[in-house]
Amino acid sequence: MWNSLRLRLLMAVILVVLVAVSVTAVVAGRRTTGEFQRYVERGGPIPFARYAVFLARSYDMRQGWGAVQSEVERIGQISGMRVVVADAEGRIVADSENALIGKSAAGRWRVPAIEITAGGRPVGFLYMIPPTEPREAERAFLRAVNRSILFGALFAGAVAVLVILGMSDRILRPIERLTAAAQRMEKGDLSVRVPVDSQDEIGKLAHAFNAMASSLAMQEQLRRNLVSDVAHELRTPLTNLRGYLEAVRDGLIQPDAGLIDNLYEETMLLNRLVSDLHELAQAEAGQLNLVRRPVKVDEIVQRVVEAFGWQVESKGLTLRVDVPADLPLVDVDPERIGQVLRNLLSNAIMHTPAGGEIDIAARAEGKWVTVAVKDTGEGIPPEHLPFVFDRFYRVDKSRSRLTGGVGLGLAIAKQLVEAHGGEIWAQSTVGQGSIFRFTLPVAAS
């Protein structure tokens, strides 16, 4: 419960409350003292004017300031202030502190002089001077103010702590759920997902976590599929080899030339499978070392076509090439694109019956050159077409095995084309033939 994030949040809030309260106490204390002082100076609870009226009456009765000292002292006791009376000329005639009698009052105090009028003319001035030390009443008032601030602060602090405890629970619960989910994932359970119940940063984190978990689960599934596909593809040729070799060892068959050919074919099959897998794995991991340079498309096509010449002829096929010599150069690794073309061409030859036609054409379209390999072969049923670029996907599994294909040729072609930034796709009509097209980037001139 008291993990560190919660504790830190709490400490931060308490600190903020403490600072706020201290600043309030200091500012309020200062202001209160100042206001109190002004209040007292302005006249206090009893208007000073009344004292002036009282003193005027006394002046009237005695016809002068003769006995004013005792009255001034009384007013001093009642008001708690120093009381000074000066005559019309500003000379002090009475002082509750009995100190300045006979001196001039002019400019001595900050407090305003209250005029004393008798018989319609000014006869003197009254000064009410507050004591410099705060009085007991004032100190009590300040104490009360400070106590209120303290109570307020304690109350605010308690509320803040409760609020932060509630809030930290709301914030930390999803984080704790995420941590628990990550720990389960670490132990190998890739099916964990966390509920996304908000749109804030934590909600987004939960969303990203779920996306990551799905992606990991998918990768894991792909990896398992690949391993089982590879095991499956390796098993058949190995079983054949073993069967033949055991039969020879046990003297059941003679190792004649035909048998040796058979065994040789099986090892070739294994060899091709292993090298195809290697190439595919490299391409999928983005580790292909592409040696790109500006190159002419017809050069690549020509080289591949020459290599397949005898196959085309021996199968009684017609191969036409329509690649204009003035096509723009493409920015590719000619070896890799040659490989793409070889895979497409060998498929076309394999799936086109004698007397059929194969066309290789290339056209420039904007920043791309599209190469098409078209055959008049058996075609691909529409339900299979979307999957022919998947690895180990074969339309007719038994037949393809006999011809040596394991369903990697198109997967490799796709990876190679995409490694160059291009695209590859297929169209096909059963009984009429197929067209495979791919795009290559035009080299910057």
Return the residue of 408, 417, 440, 442 that touches ligand ADP, per CB under 6 A: 408
Q: How far is the CB of 374 from ligand ADP (least distance, A)?
A: 9
In whole angstroms, give the CA distance from residue 410 to residue 389: 5
Which residues, in sequence order, are bridge partners of residue 86? 92, 125
- The piece of 57-65, 257-265, 290-298, 341-349 that touches ligand ADP (CB under 6 A) is 341-349
Q: Given the complex with ligand ADP, which of 174 and 407 has the nearer CB atom?
A: 407
DSSP H or E segment with residue 432? none
Q: Given the complex with ligand ADP, which of 69 and 236 has the nearer CB atom?
A: 236
- The piece of 82-90, 128-136, 304-312, 346-354 that touches ligand ADP (CB under 6 A) is 346-354
Contact (CB, 8 A) for 356 and 376 = yes
Gyration radius from the chain CA atoms = 52
Q: How far is the CB of 349 from ligand ADP (least distance, A)?
A: 9
Q: Alpha-carbon torsion 141, 143, 146, 152, what sign? A: negative
Task: Please report whether residue 356 would count as binding ligand ADP according to CB under 6 A.
Answer: no
Task: Please report whether residue 87 would count as binding ligand ADP according to CB under 6 A.
Answer: no
Read out DSSP for 265-323?
A: HHHHHHHHHHHHHHHHHHHHTT------EEE-HHHHHHHHHHHHHHHHHHTT-EEEEE-
- 224 SS3 class: helix
Both tokens of 91, joined, read 């000379």
- Site residues for ligand ADP, 25-54, by CB under 6 A, read none
Return the residue of 283, 380, 417, 440 that touches ligand ADP, per CB under 6 A: 380
Contact (CB, 8 A) for 85 and 125 = yes
Q: Given the complex with ligand ADP, which of 65 and 392 has the nearer CB atom?
A: 392
The Cβ of residue 329 has, within 10 Å, a number of other Cβ atoms equal to 17
H, E, C per residue of 365-423: ECCEEEEEEEECCCCCCCCCHHHCCCCCCCCCHHHHHHHCCCCCHHHHHHHHHHHCCCC
Site string for ligand ADP, 410-429 (x = CB under 6 A): xx------------------
Q: How far is the CB of 338 from ligand ADP (least distance, A)?
A: 16
Q: Given the complex with ligand ADP, which of 370 and 400 has the nearer CB atom?
A: 400
Task: Please report whether residue 376 would count as binding ligand ADP according to CB under 6 A.
Answer: no
- Site residues for ligand ADP, 383-402, by CB under 6 A, read 388, 393-396, 400
Task: Please report whether residue 378 would count as binding ligand ADP according to CB under 6 A.
Answer: yes
The H-assigned helical ranges of 127-200 are 136-186
Q: Given the complex with ligand ADP, which of 338 and 377 has the nearer CB atom?
A: 377
Residue 88 Ramachandran class (φ > 0 left, ψ -120 to 50 alpha, else beta): alpha
Site string for ligand ADP, 293-332 (x = CB under 6 A): ----------------------------------------
Q: Given the complex with ligand ADP, which of 20 and 385 has the nearer CB atom?
A: 385
DSSP H or E segment with residue 15? helix 4-42
- The piece of 76-84, 216-224, 227-235, 374-382 that touches ligand ADP (CB under 6 A) is 374-382
Q: Alpha-carbon torsion 300, 303, 307, 310, what sign? A: positive
Return the residue of 368, 434, 438, 442 that touches ligand ADP, per CB under 6 A: 434
Q: Which residues make up the interface to ligand ADP (CB under 6 A)?
A: 343, 347-348, 351, 375, 377-378, 380, 388, 393-396, 400, 405-411, 434
